Structure 1
Amino acid sequence: MADLAELRQHAQQIFAAGVAAANPTLALNRFLSTEHDQLVIGLTNGAVRSHAWQKVHVIAFGKAAGLMASAALARIPAQLLQLPVIAVTNYENSADYRNIELLTAAHPLPDQAGLKAAQRIAERMSLVQKNELVLVLISGGGSALIPYPINGISLAEKTQVTELLLTSGATINEINTVRKHLSVLKGGGLAKLAMPADLHALILSDVLGDDLSAIASGPTVPDPTTYADAVALLHDKQLWPKLPRSVQNHLQHGVQGLIPETPKPNDVIFARTGHSLIGSNTVSLHAMQQAASQLGYQTLIYQTQLQGEAKLEAEKLAAYAKTLNKPLALIAGGETTVTVTGQGLGGRNQEFALAFACAASQYGLTSEWTLLSGGTDGRDGPTDAAGGLIDTCSISRMLTAGLNPLARLADNDAYHALQSSGDLLLTGATGTNVADLQVLLINT
């Protein structure tokens, strides 16, 4: 039977297997090939898409943009490739790639560099022609990395709206409902700019359920949401009075029909578009399950779409773990939320880990256990940590360090609590993003 040190090591190995399953290069190579000097694109259903395109323009954005663009460049016949390839990623994933114009910007809150990158993409779209292909490579983080507010709304105002939503407990789908109605590129906007060329998107999903209209706020697909949906959501979250006047006016004009809606499914612009899902949280979950089995654990997928308030979901998992009476690896994936009421530092995975440690102590979970909750991109919230890696003795280590775990949890200060006990999960930027993964290993 594994001791705590070995349990912690195994948890990291299982998490690493999940991250590896979302490797952008391997995922893209499975869907992109050539035949008779023509590009062949694999579809999610196993079919293929090909055409005698005269040129191929590659646009990539997201945390895996650099790796995806590099892989695409190696696959596309040189005579078809229109250089430079444009890729937009977060600062942590900056690197040098030949023939790739790599632009870096901020995440999760957008910045001026991201605006310039979005404008660069729009500029490139103005050059595409009929019988050409725009190959769009999308990965997690795309929404924040290419902010392009509509006329009349400044980047600072749009950033303010995003920040309000991020701290309100809104889900990623809810956040995107608003962002799509304040943006030039999101909600089908990029597909609109790409006309009259063909467009195909290869997508590494960080959205639970893999809703294409939600991934990176759906820049290449129809938007099923409306201005009325965005306004209702903002009222429901009690954020409407806090919005800049320009944003209120724009959304109200949209509801009144004074400005066009985002492109809907029957729009002619989507006649030339296609999409392939090349990786997701679910794929990573199954890779973790396999890794745990290979390490000798009986495995169980606890949840494939873990959502809700991080504290509450962690307590539910601790209560469930209390009912188990055998060694087991519980695996979950998803994306929880945090309603910020305190002044501390952390992220949803760190808060989940700390809340689980507190709940396990309160429920008397006496068996040896280790829990890892981490972001597959290697960054959890505005911190240098990917999440938390805690065990049976974490609370004791925090108390010895002079910290009150419950008080830190109440102040949304999971980072410093986990730092005091040596339980921060530090992976560095991974170059990919398929949301969050959790593994709980239990000895009895």
Structure 2
Amino acid sequence: MQATDPASTNTIKKDARSILQAGIAAADPYKAVKRCLIVNEDHIEILLNLDNPEQKRLGRWSNVHLIAFGKAACAMARAASEIIPAHLLADNSIAVTNYENECVIDNIEVIGAGHPLPDQAGLKAAKKCADIARRAQKDELVLVLISGGGSALLPYPADRITLQEKIAATDLLLASGANINQINCVRKHVSRIKGGGLAGIAQPAALHALVLSDVLGNDVSAIASGPTVPDTTTYADAVEILKSRGVWDRVAANVQDYLEQGKRGSVPETPKPGDEAFKNSSYTLIGSNALSVKAVMKAARKHGYEARLYSDKLGGEAREEAEKLVIYAKAQIEKGLLKPVAFLAGGETTVTLKGKGLGGRNQEFALAFACAAQKHGLTGNWTFLSGGTDGRDGPTDAAGGMVDRGTLHRITEAGVNPAVALENNDSYTALKSSQDLLFTGPTGTNVADLQILLIHPDF
């Protein structure tokens, strides 16, 4: 085996950060919107498919009502407002984002709202968005810019359900380990604008959505709970999810009653495929986790690594997936590595809360990886990074964690038991003690998570 100059852990960590940044840059919402909107004299062109520039939606709309929501709302709204002529842009345009990403945009009302926990500011913003869509006329366009986080940022509970009751139901599902599709199914059925509701309100105006996906597989009906597209799930599905996750008896009576009424047909279902609500509605997928995974693959090669795709649909329980990745990496090392290798993944894992600690799915993934690496004897000079592309992991200020073969020693030296911290879902405390938390600050985008495992083999 040919020897190479050994790289220091600090150098490998710098590589991991740089590779992550390439993935985040690939999901730049400002550039994504600029690629899709074109104004030619008296009409607007909207790309329908990024892989086929010939597929366009053309319109001579007299007015464009701009509604942006999600963690990338400001960047997306700014791009659209720079393209759409001022005389066509309605004066009631709005962008709703999380407080960290709030900024000033000319001619756009920007509202900061709560995320991941919805708040009253989000409820007020949701009502404004619905009013804008409701006032749009037949020869006008409602341009909806959607990005990750939109479900929490635009809470508009159905009749008789309070915001706090809706929040409590979502919290119970999150703590139960429910995945994003299950959570969104319930959200849609206790909401006025999710699950195609916004498209229904916007009739008879034209509606088009530019969507930045934070959902694996890019199911548009799951992104921000699909406010502009058909919903194939039902009230019965929502009830079953709450029961199967063991939280049905703990949700508010108002939520139970409303869902049961929907199941019996006493409350209208969310609009389904073929519904009149979507007669004049369309969308374009402008960015996704898959595109960011491609970008990190390319960046890893530029940094001299042999780039191997581990998974572009990584899901499941974070700590379990961490151990699977360690076992996989060890098997690859035992087959023989001739050069530094990068095992790369994208997706969104889950955490079933059993303890009372602080952390997020990426921090738990990173801490669990370090524990599993010691358990299984992972060799080589390795660094593992798991981070959220939005710059925030769970209810913390960290984007995730970045661990190496010295992490557990540093945690122990700081007086923390890593195994106990993991069991208590207290990954933030453990990684903070070893200085292995990952901080990026708010990125202004959100396309789920990226995992980067860099290994320099021992020669």
Per the TM superposition, whether the score is higher than 0.5 is yes
Q: Report the Cα offset of residue 196 of structure 1.
A: 0.5
Instruction: Say whether the 8 Å CA contact 1:311–1:351 is kept in structure 2.
Output: yes
Aligned partner letter, 1:33: I
String of CA shifts for 1:240-269, please: whole Å, max 9, x gaps: 100100000000001111111000001011
Paired position in structure 2 for 1:24 = 29
SS at match of 1:258: coil
String of CA shifts for 1:382-427, please: whole Å, max 9, x gaps: 0000000111110111111111100000000000100000100011
In the superposition, the TM-score normalised over structure 2's length comes to 0.96
Aligned partner letter, 1:426: F
Q: C-alpha separation between the residues in 2 aligned to 1:83 and 1:27?
A: 24
Paired position in structure 1 for 2:82 = 74
Q: C-alpha separation between the residues in 2 aligned to 1:285 and 1:276?
A: 20
String of CA shifts for 1:144-163, please: whole Å, max 9, x gaps: 00000011000000000010
The 5 A counterparts of 1:369-388 are 369-388=382-401
Q: C-alpha separation between the residues in 2 aligned to 1:24 and 1:77?
A: 20
Q: 2:315 aligns with which of 290, 307, 311?
A: 307
Instruction: Say whether the 8 Å CA contact 1:37–1:77 is kept in structure 2.
Output: no
Q: Does 1:14 align with 2:22?
A: no
Q: Does 1:159 align with 2:167?
A: yes
Instruction: Say whether the 8 Å CA contact 2:92–2:132 is kept in structure 1.
Output: no
Q: Does 1:104 align with 2:112?
A: yes
String of CA shifts for 1:199-228, please: whole Å, max 9, x gaps: 000000000000010000000000000000
Instruction: Say whether the 8 Å CA contact 2:42–2:60 is kept in structure 1.
Output: no
Q: Report the Cα offset of residue 85 of structure 1.
A: 2.0
Paired position in structure 1 for 2:295 = 287
Q: Percent identity?
A: 58
Q: C-alpha separation between the residues in 2 aligned to 1:142 and 1:297?
A: 36
The 5 A counterparts of 1:175-324 are 175-324=183-332
Q: C-alpha separation between the residues in 2 aligned to 1:112 and 1:78?
A: 31
| Structure 1 stretches of 4+ moved >2 Å | none
Q: Report the Cα offset of residue 126 of structure 1.
A: 2.2
Q: Report the Cα offset of residue 84 of structure 1.
A: 3.5
Q: Report the Cα offset of residue 122 of structure 1.
A: 1.1
Instruction: Say whether the 8 Å CA contact 1:333–1:435 is kept in structure 2.
Output: yes
Instruction: Say whether the 8 Å CA contact 2:312–2:346 is kept in structure 1.
Output: yes
Q: C-alpha separation between the residues in 2 aligned to 1:240 and 1:126?
A: 34
Q: Report the Cα offset of residue 284 of structure 1.
A: 0.3
Aligned partner letter, 1:202: L
Q: C-alpha separation between the residues in 1 aligned to 2:344 and 2:368?
A: 17
Q: C-alpha separation between the residues in 1 aligned to 2:224 and 2:108?
A: 21
Q: C-alpha separation between the residues in 2 aligned to 1:324 and 1:368?
A: 14
Q: 2:96 aligns with which of 88, 92, 95?
A: 88
Aligned length: 444
Paired position in structure 2 for 1:423 = 436
SS at match of 1:385: coil
Q: Does 1:346 align with 2:359?
A: yes
SS at match of 2:95: strand
Name stretches of at least 5 consecutive residues in structure 1 with no aligned partner. Answer: none
Q: C-alpha separation between the residues in 2 aligned to 1:58 and 1:203?
A: 14
Q: Does 1:3 align with 2:11?
A: no
Aligned partner letter, 1:413: D
SS at match of 2:176: coil
Q: 1:392 aligns with which of 393, 405, 426?
A: 405
In the superposition, the TM-score normalised over structure 1's length comes to 0.99
Considering only aligned residues, what root-mean-square deviation do their CA atoms show, in Å?
A: 0.8
Instruction: Say whether the 8 Å CA contact 1:42–1:276 is kept in structure 2.
Output: yes
Q: Report the Cα offset of residue 100 of structure 1.
A: 1.2
Q: 1:57 aligns with which of 53, 56, 65?
A: 65
SS at match of 2:143: strand
Q: C-alpha separation between the residues in 2 aligned to 1:88 and 1:38?
A: 27
String of CA shifts for 1:46-81, please: whole Å, max 9, x gaps: 211111111111000000001100000001122211
String of CA shifts for 1:258-312, please: whole Å, max 9, x gaps: 1110000010110100100000000000000000001110000100010000000
Q: C-alpha separation between the residues in 1 aligned to 2:104 and 2:90?
A: 19
Name stretches of at least 5 consecutive residues in structure 2 with no aligned partner. Answer: 1-5
Q: C-alpha separation between the residues in 2 aligned to 1:225 and 1:75?
A: 36
Instruction: Say whether the 8 Å CA contact 1:199–1:274 is kept in structure 2.
Output: yes
Q: Report the Cα offset of residue 98 of structure 1.
A: 1.3
Q: Report the Cα offset of residue 36 of structure 1.
A: 1.9
SS at match of 1:292: helix
Instruction: Say whether the 8 Å CA contact 2:72–2:444 is kept in structure 1.
Output: yes
Q: Report the Cα offset of residue 37 of structure 1.
A: 3.4
Instruction: Say whether the 8 Å CA contact 2:213–2:223 is kept in structure 1.
Output: yes
The 5 A counterparts of 1:128-147 are 128-147=136-155
Q: C-alpha separation between the residues in 1 aligned to 2:397 and 2:197?
A: 33
